[in-house]
A and B are shown apart, each in its own frame.
Chain A
Amino acid sequence: MVKPLETEVLIIGGGINGTAIARELSKYKIDVTLVEKEVDVSFGISKGSNGQVYTGLEMALSLALKKVAGTVSEEMEKAKERICDQGYRLWEQMFHELEIPYRVVGLMVIATNAEEFQKLNAMHKQYAKNYGLKILGKEEILSIEPNVTQEAIAGLYEPGHMMVHNPFDAVIALAENAKDNGIRILLNCEVSAITKGKGFQTVETSNGRIKTRFIVNASGRYVDKIAAMAGPCGFGFQCFKGHLLITDKNVGGIVNNVITTPPLPGIAKVVQPTVDGNLRLGTLYEETKDRFDHRTILSGMNEVMERARSLVPSLSPRDIITYFTGTRMFSNRDAAEYIIESPKENPKFISVGPGMPGFTPAPAIAKIVVERLENEGLQLVERRDFNPYRKNITRFSSLSNPQKADLIRREASYGHVLCRCEHVTEAEVVESIRRGATTLDGIKFRTRAGMGRCQGGFCGPQVVEILARELNIPVTHVTKRGGKSRLLLYQTKELLKTHRRNRDDAAC
């Protein structure tokens, strides 16, 4: 019988919360294991996040939006603001330490009709004194954002309180740094049962049994399902599905700030510049009973497109290079609540629920969780050799010509550009595999290969070949994102030979 893996803290889930908590715990001398069901971190609910870390006016807007969606108590609202404020400050530090690409942008809230103008005024009255904002007229709006709609009658502009990034960049960076500092990460590892013993808990996974003292359940879409394995689960969620459209970089520069309108029931409109120079258009949030439903719907995409055009009229469907959906979950007890909860019978099992925003508060939530664990008896002894720094994969496309020349001289595979849209080199793809990517999506998230306007049409065959070579697997085993998502099912002649053999067999 195989001995169970023994660890002190088991984190279930490799999304933003799981990896942030892992990195926080890696500062101490503790044996920590993180298990992730998918083939890679960030592959769950985290990768569909908006990629915004924010405070200030956007936070106020976000709270207003929650009120539209569900009940929000003042106590929860204040708690949320505190956690997010702390999160924002921690992110400012972490973006640098972990070399996560990000970009600071401002927020421009515009009103294009009477109803929106009313809301804008109300917002101004409520938040202006905190943020020193004044209502701008059309001229002023257009001088800051010349490509915004001519229908804009008034606006509120707050520079520099939003950091936009790619959600998977952050999760991957946290995981790499945590791993670098001693955290054990097990991928393709799905939890199926949890039993409480004396002084420890036993977790059954697809990779075998794990014995642990503490469990942090940060399993995103599965958080209530996993919680129910460890005791009665007292929380639940309201789920929304949002459509996100990404534009070509050619139009990325037409706005410099996040453009939105005051939240009205059922209407959220956002045009957001991304760190890479695209625009993200969103979001149509529709309540859904199925949190696993990630299908895009034509009417949803058309709606998002129309809303985006009402803000920035020069945008057109021709500018769209890809789209996907994201799941938004928040507590059905209180839309502003961040769930950090244990069942009475098992205080060493802590569930951390997804919320909205999901990324902004994550580092603060991680600290709260570690504090809770300490209260429950976890010894926190600081590691003197904790390394807070993590280097990202060198992005060839962002280097100057002399830097590029030098890099190729040192490593020739930087001279082989295989993604023509994003200028990603073979060296970067190989490096991403060395850092844990085993799938096309994993490589895509770490290098951007396949994220350009041709969506992998040119680089696909080359990336597939490199994956097969580096992992020493047949090309037919290469997957898009693990599991059953194999890309190429047969070798040529395989079908002909099989059918011939079948015919010959049948003939006998």
Chain B
Amino acid sequence: MQHVDVAVIGAGPAGLAAAVKARASGVKKVVVIERTKYPGGLLEQCIHNGFGLHYFKEDLTGPEYAARFVEKARDLNVDMRLDSMVLNISGDRRISFVNKRDGLVTLTAGAIVLAMGCRERTGPSIMLAGTRPAGIFTAGTAQRYINIEGFIPGKEIVILGSGDVGMIMAKRLSLEDVEVKAVVEILPYVGGLIRNEVQCIHDFEIPLMLGHTVTEIHGRDRVEAVTVAKVDKNRQPIVGTMKRIKCDTLLLSVGLIPENELSRMAGVKLDSTSGGPIVDETMQTSVPGIFAGGNVVHVHDLVDHVTEEAEAAGASAAKYIMGKLKSGIRKLNLKAGENIKYVIPHTITGEKEVILYARVKEPAMKVRVKVGNIFNKPLRVVRPSEMLKIHLSPRELEKGRDGLTELVVSCVGKEQQNKKINIS
């Protein structure tokens, strides 16, 4: 049986970053196992720009961002197995994968980095009623069809969900002369970045229906229309507000979930709020020697953060196999407090500086982000679609030395903001 030092599952931005970092940290044998034909993961189909503004200080498209890491991986002789599907991972770090050329391969790894990314929520996950015709796609799959395969699903489209993927598809389709009849969003505010709201929706004068949802799909063989209704504050459709929109395609942009099948197989403990593995500040999961980074841990908005997080995982994997990964003496649990949905990592030692990622539940203005008694920063605006990055310096962590077992991360403020935030 083959043995590798570090095995990385997935050659998307997370996997590539982890692999490159592990090699650069001195690990000899690094293998990346990727299920599609090309490295780069979802970046290959994200042909729009906006990537790398933080990491490279450049405005790159998805493929260009990916290419930087693919090149580094090639230069560092990372063993890339493409078109290879991992079938099984065990808790003792045995991996089985298959591809046409090598057949069934089983290898053992000194350390594993899980970087499988996320998948899209489907229609059934939101109990979308009606018929089951052709013409219903998740936004990411539609993106793949247009940008990779070269096909457009239809010419009159309704998009459910105003997350970034949905909005970007609204723009992409409009540029291909598809009529985007509406972007329907159940919340009273847009689900993605403001930049996308401007450049994707307003630029193309696409009707944005906030506080609405699609209640029914019509059409026997192919989508013919959808029924849209206004929702109340409990997000339930209001009777009498139903409107029928004629269309031949429905795109669903209703959320992303970390891919956790392989994580489960390996016995890794998951957090149901973030959707991914429970990790400490080294990005190690509950199984020793198995690390994770990127969207597989929690869904990010910026690929730059994915890279940073995965680099941390890769560096830790390297330290682990060299016997240099120290487990801290203390373990501080990070808890989600007021208006915080989740915090990553789940535990820190408090012995060195660390970066926390957190998401708020509701948008708010003039708030203070607090971490226990040791961190307190005012912010003008917070939104669920924009992740908080909290840097805890050694000095701040010093403050929390005595007798603490947990730190509550919270976002407190006077004003709750539910309406669109005007740039004025």
Given known pairs A317-B127, A496-B177, the reply for A415 and B151 (CB within 8 Å) is no
B154 proximity list for chain A (CB < 8 A): 489-490
B125 close to chain A: CB less than 8 A: yes
Q: Are B134 and A487 in contact (CB under 8 A)?
A: yes
The interface stretch among B98-106, B300-308, B325-333, B409-417 is B98-106
* Distance in Å: Cβ of A425 to nearest Cβ of chain B: 8
Among B134, B144, B249, which residue has the most Cβ atoms of chain A within 10 A? B134
CB distance from A312 to the nearest CB of B (A): 19
Q: Is A494 on the interface with B (CB-CB < 8 A)? A: yes
> Would A485 and B133 count as touching, CB distance under 8 A?
yes
Partner of A484, one of B140, B149, B222: B222
> Which residues of A in the span 357-416 have a Cβ within 8 Å of any Cβ on B?
401, 404-405, 408-409, 412-416
A324 to B123, CA, bound (A): 12
In the assembled complex, the CB of A295 is this many whole angstroms from the nearest CB of chain B, namely 5
- Is B155 part of the binding interface, using a Cβ–Cβ cutoff of 8 Å? yes
How far, in whole Å, are A139 and B198 apart by their CA atoms in the complex? 61
Are A405's CB and B151's CB within 8 A? no
B150 at the interface (CB under 8 A from A): yes
Q: Residue B152 at the A interface, CB < 8 A? A: yes
A295–B217 Cα distance when bound, in Å, is 9
A496-B179 Cα distance, complex, nearest whole Å:
11
Question: Quick one: which of A419-465 are within 8 Å of B by CB?
Answer: 420-421, 423, 453-458, 460-461, 464-465
B106 and A401 contacting across the interface, CB-CB below 8 Å: yes
A295 near B98 with CB under 8 A, answer no
Taking the nearest CB of chain A, how far is it from the CB of B30, in angstroms?
23
| In the complex, A298 has a CB within 8 A of chain B | yes
Whether A454 touches B119, Cβ cut-off 8 Å, given contacts A405-B103, A417-B87, A492-B150, is: yes
What are the residues of chain B within 8 A of A486 when measuring CB–CB? 134, 222
Residue contact B134 to A298, C-beta cutoff 8 Å: no
CA distance A460 to B119 in the complex (A): 14
Cβ contacts B146-158/A at 8 Å (1 or 0 each):
1011111111000
Q: Within the complex, which residue of A324, A408, A456, A483 is in contact with B221, where a contact is CB–CB below 8 Å? A: A483
B127, A495: Cβ atoms under 8 Å?
A: no
In contact, A457 and B122 (Cβ under 8 angstroms): yes
Beta-carbon contact of A491 and B124 below 8 Å: no
B87 and A458 within 8 A (CB):
no
Q: Which residues of A contact B144 (CB under 8 A)?
A: 461
Is the C-beta of B164 less than 8 angstroms from some C-beta in chain A? no
Q: Are A480 and B133 in contact (CB under 8 A)?
A: yes
Q: CB-CB < 8 A to A490: which residues of B? A: 151-152, 154-155
Give chain A's interface secondary structure class.
Answer: mixed
**Residues of chain A within 8 A of B248, CB atoms compared:** 489
Q: Please give me the residue from chain B that is nearest to A245 by CB atom.
A: B124
B208 near A: Cβ within 8 Å?
no
Closest-by-CB residue of A relative to B177 is A495
- Partner of A475 from the list B131, B149, B177 (CB cut-off 8 Å) is B149
Chain B residue, CB-CB nearest to A452: B261
Taking the complex as formed, is B90 at the interface, i.e. its CB lies under 8 A from any CB of chain A?
Answer: no
Write out the residue numbers on chain B whose beta carbons fall within 8 Å of the beta carbon of A408: 98, 100, 103-104
Q: B151: which A residues are within 8 A, CB to CB?
A: 475-476, 488, 490-492
Please report the C-alpha to C-alpha distance between residue A485 and residue B35 in the assembled complex, in whole angstroms: 29
Q: Is the CB of B152 within 8 A of A320?
A: no
Say yes or no for A134: interface residue by CB 8 A criterion: no
Q: Give Cα distance in the complex from A296 to B216, angstroms.
A: 9
Q: Is A321 an interface residue (CB 8 A)?
A: yes
Asked whether B100 lies within 8 Å of A302 as measured between CB atoms, the reply is no
Map CB proximity to B onto A223-247 as digits: 1 under 8 Å, 0 otherwise.
0000000000000000000000000
Q: Is A318 an interface residue (CB 8 A)?
A: yes
Whether A417 touches B152, Cβ cut-off 8 Å, given contacts A455-B124, A461-B141, A495-B177, is: no
Cβ of A301 and Cβ of B120 under 8 Å apart? Answer: no
B35, A417: Cβ atoms closer than 8 Å: yes
Judge whether B155 and A401 touch: CB under 8 Å.
no
Is the Cβ of B215 less than 8 Å from the Cβ of A493? no
At the interface, yes or no: A479 with Cβ under 8 Å from chain B?
yes
Q: How far is the CA of A456 from the CA of B131 in the complex (A)?
A: 17
Query: Of B85, B119, B127, which one neighbours A298 at CB under 8 angstroms?
Result: B127
Are B221 and A489 in contact, CB atoms less than 8 angstroms apart?
no
Q: Is A125 an interface residue (CB 8 A)?
A: no
Please indicate the chain B residues that have their CB under 8 angstroms from the CB of A491 in the complex: 150-152
CB pair B124–A320 under 8 Å, yes or no, is yes
Contact A457 B129 (CB under 8 A): no
Q: Does A131 contact B (CB under 8 A)?
A: no
Q: Is the CB of B124 within 8 A of A457?
A: no
CB neighbours of B149 from chain A (8 A): 461, 464-465, 475
Q: Judge whether B221 and A485 touch: CB under 8 Å.
A: yes
Asked if A457 and B178 sit within 8 Å, CB to CB, the answer is no
* Smallest CB gap from A458: residue in B: B119
Asked if residues B152 and A492 are in contact (CB atoms below 8 Å), the reply is: yes
A348 in contact (CB, < 8 A): no
The chain B residue sitting closest to A397, CB to CB, is B87
A412 touching B100 by the CB < 8 A rule?
Answer: yes
Shortest CB–CB separation between residue A25 and chain B, in angstroms? 32
Q: Does B96 contact A (CB under 8 A)?
A: yes
Could you list which residues of chain B lie within 8 angstroms of chain A, going by C-beta atoms? 35, 83, 85, 87, 96, 98-104, 106, 119-120, 122-125, 127, 129-135, 138, 140-141, 144-146, 148-155, 176-178, 215-216, 220-222, 248-249, 261, 264
Q: List 18 A-B contacts (CB under 8 A).
A: A320-B124, A320-B125, A323-B124, A401-B106, A404-B104, A405-B103, A408-B100, A414-B98, A417-B85, A420-B85, A453-B122, A461-B148, A465-B149, A479-B134, A483-B221, A488-B153, A492-B152, A496-B176
In the A-B complex, the 9 residue pairs with the smallest Cβ-Cβ separation, listed nearest first, are A417-B85, A480-B134, A485-B221, A405-B104, A415-B100, A485-B134, A484-B221, A488-B151, A495-B177
A460-B141, A461-B148, A491-B152 known, 14 other contacts, Cβ within 8 Å? A295-B130, A412-B100, A415-B101, A415-B103, A420-B35, A454-B119, A475-B151, A479-B134, A480-B133, A481-B221, A487-B134, A488-B152, A493-B176, A496-B176
